[in-house]
Chains A and B, each alone.
Chain A
């Protein structure tokens, strides 16, 4: 769905703890999902992606979980570090060719890591 409002959901964690950032997507026909990290004044940075034929995918310190039944996506960050502080966006891409190549972004979550 489209982002609304100017107030981002926030998540505050202690350094070293695990973080879980959640995202609800809108289109049950979407077949590809992706997470980005965006620091202030910078462009979104690719973190990890997952196709709809998978439930879980792991990267370095990050795991993405996909629950198609409830249209829910989550990003888990292990041993969160101060450098992880940023806004995190999930995005989806439809399987329908008529939707072209565009990503549809969800509302971001601001992650704050306390040292």
Chain B
């Protein structure tokens, strides 16, 4: 399978714990995006990378959230001190040069108890 992959697919954690998600983009895609999706809503943009550079961050990305793409390949999204409001599907997407189209992974569903 050469699509975008995400790990884990599901995560249940207690409020206050830290969690980290991983995304592996399609090979040779230089752009990588993170989105968050809550029930009944469309995905909302969080941040994106071109190669290893983080070029844009949404105001949704509070200081508890951090994303990295150290070698321009896979990316991690960490949430510190999780809150119940962080419960959502976290989606990763990648795109080739030019940014079009974006291909999404299966998502990581986070539940904060």
Contacts and interface: CB of A to CB of B under 8 A. Distances in A.
B is a partner of A: yes
B43 A105 contact: yes
Interface residues of B, number: 28
Nearest to A42: B106
Interface stretch (B11-19, B66-74, B78-86, B94-102): B94-102
Most buried by A among B41, B58, B95: B41
Contacts, number: 69
Contacts of A32: 100
Given A34-B102, A103-B102, 5 more contacts: A32-B100, A42-B106, A101-B33, A101-B56, A103-B43
Given A102-B56, A106-B42, A49 B100 contact: yes
A5 B109 CA distance: 20
B103 interface: yes
A8 B40 contact: yes
Interface of B: 4, 6, 31, 33, 39-45, 48, 50, 55-56, 58, 91, 95, 99-107, 109
Interface string A1-23: 01101111000000000000000
Contact of B45 (A42, A46, A102, A108): A102
A102 B33 contact: yes
The DSSP consensus for interface residues of chain A is loop
Interface in A96-114: 100-108
A49 B50 CA distance: 21
Interface of A: 2-3, 5-8, 32, 34, 36, 41-46, 49, 89, 91, 93, 100-108
Given A34-B101, A43-B106, A43-B107, A101 B48 contact: yes
A51 to B, nearest CB: 8
Contacts of A49: 100-101
B51 to A, nearest CB: 12
Given A43-B91, A101-B99, A102-B33, A6 B104 contact: no
